[in-house]
């Protein structure tokens, strides 16, 4: 035999509302309370919440010369965070587990000659295809430029992505800045979005 308790409000011994139902809204606890849930909280049978791993934050510690006007994969050698070991610091490739991610990157481009960088670009290359590309172009040549990009993308667990950059210079040798070399810095990060 089952039992039914009918009440709109359940209070503690001090008269404070613990559970209250009003206009089809159930309120558990009060402002400032800590609510501990033992077990799995569900929304129509599906678990609520999740983890935002893997997540990655990597930087570049040294300046690397690159070819003029040529897309080049940026290899970030300094792994600040790499939950689940999804980033390869020898190739620059990141292979997230299945899920939707926010990817962001900032690249600094310099040059061996003063005032010789005319434009530069950055792109996110996923599975060999360009997903998003940005570029910076000045009316006058400068020695250093920076450009940033970010995207949200759903991965299947086997596809990787890399960050690529290029620089077009009128003279000298272009390079990708490292954080120890200039104040501009070059970095990449990504984290899983809980959906």
What are the tens digits of pLDDT across the range 51-78?
778 999 999 988 899 998 899 999 999 9
- Which pair of structure tokens corresponds to residue 133? 């590309």
Question: Exposure of 71 by Cβ count < 10 A (0-12 exposed, 13-18 middle, 19+ buried)?
Answer: middle
- Whether the Cβ atoms of residue 167 and residue 68 lie closer than 8 Å to each other: yes
> Residues 140, 66: one domain?
yes
Q: Is residue 1 part of a domain?
A: no
Higher pLDDT, 12 or 81: 81
Domains contained in the chain, number: 2
Beta bridge partners of 104: 150, 189
> Residues 66, 124: one domain?
yes
Percent of the chain with pLDDT over 90: 38
Q: Is residue 46 part of a domain?
A: no
Q: Which of 19-28, 34-43, 69-78, 132-141 has the highest mean pLDDT?
A: 69-78
Q: Is residue 141 part of a domain?
A: yes
The boundaries of the domain holding residue 63 are: 55-192
Query: Given a cut of 60, is residue 140 above it in pLDDT?
Result: no
**How far, in Å, CA of 67 to CA of 147, rounded?**
18
**How far, in Å, CA of 195 to CA of 192, rounded?**
9
Beta bridge partners of 164: 73, 123
Query: Given a cut of 70, is residue 7 above it in pLDDT?
Result: yes
Q: Is residue 47 part of a domain?
A: no
Nearest 10 degrees: Cα torsion 166, 170, 175, 177: -90
How many Cβ atoms sit within 10 Å of the Cβ of residue 131? 15
> Residues 65, 131: one domain?
yes
How many residues in the chain? 195
Q: Is residue 153 part of a domain?
A: yes
Q: Is residue 76 part of a domain?
A: yes
Q: Report the CATH number that the domain containing residue 105 is assigned in CATH.
A: 2.60.120.40
Q: What is the pLDDT of residues 87-138, one digit of tens each?
A: 999 999 999 999 999 999 999 887 777 667 777 889 999 999 988 888 776 6
Share the mean pLDDT of the chain: 84
CA 107 to chain CA mean position, Å = 15
Q: Is residue 2 part of a domain?
A: no
Handedness of CA 96, 55, 186, 76 (dihedral sign): negative
**How far, in Å, CA of 171 to CA of 8, rounded?**
78
Q: Is residue 3 part of a domain?
A: no
């Amino acid at each position: 035999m089952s039992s039914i308790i009918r009440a709109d409000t359940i209070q503690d011994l001090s008269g404070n509302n613990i559970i209250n139902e009003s206009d089809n809204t159930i309120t558990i606890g009060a402002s400032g309370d800590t609510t501990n849930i033992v077990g799995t909280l569900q929304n129509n049978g599906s678990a609520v919440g999740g983890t935002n791993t893997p997540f990655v934050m990597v930087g570049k510690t040294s300046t690397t010369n690159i070819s003029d006007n040529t897309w080049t994969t940026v290899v970030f050698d300094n792994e600040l965070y790499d939950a689940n070991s999804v980033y390869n610091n020898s190739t620059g490739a990141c292979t997230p587990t299945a899920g939707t991610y926010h990817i962001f990157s900032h690249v600094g481009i310099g040059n061996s000659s003063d005032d010789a960088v005319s434009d530069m670009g950055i792109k996110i290359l996923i599975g060999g295809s360009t997903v998003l590309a940005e570029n910076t172009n000045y009316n006058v040549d400068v020695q250093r430029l920076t450009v940033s990009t970010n995207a949200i993308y759903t991965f299947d667990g086997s596809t990787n992505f890399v960050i690529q950059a290029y620089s077009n210079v009128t003279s000298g040798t272009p390079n990708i800045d490292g954080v120890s070399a200039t104040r501009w810095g070059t970095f990449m990060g990504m984290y899983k979005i809980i959906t």
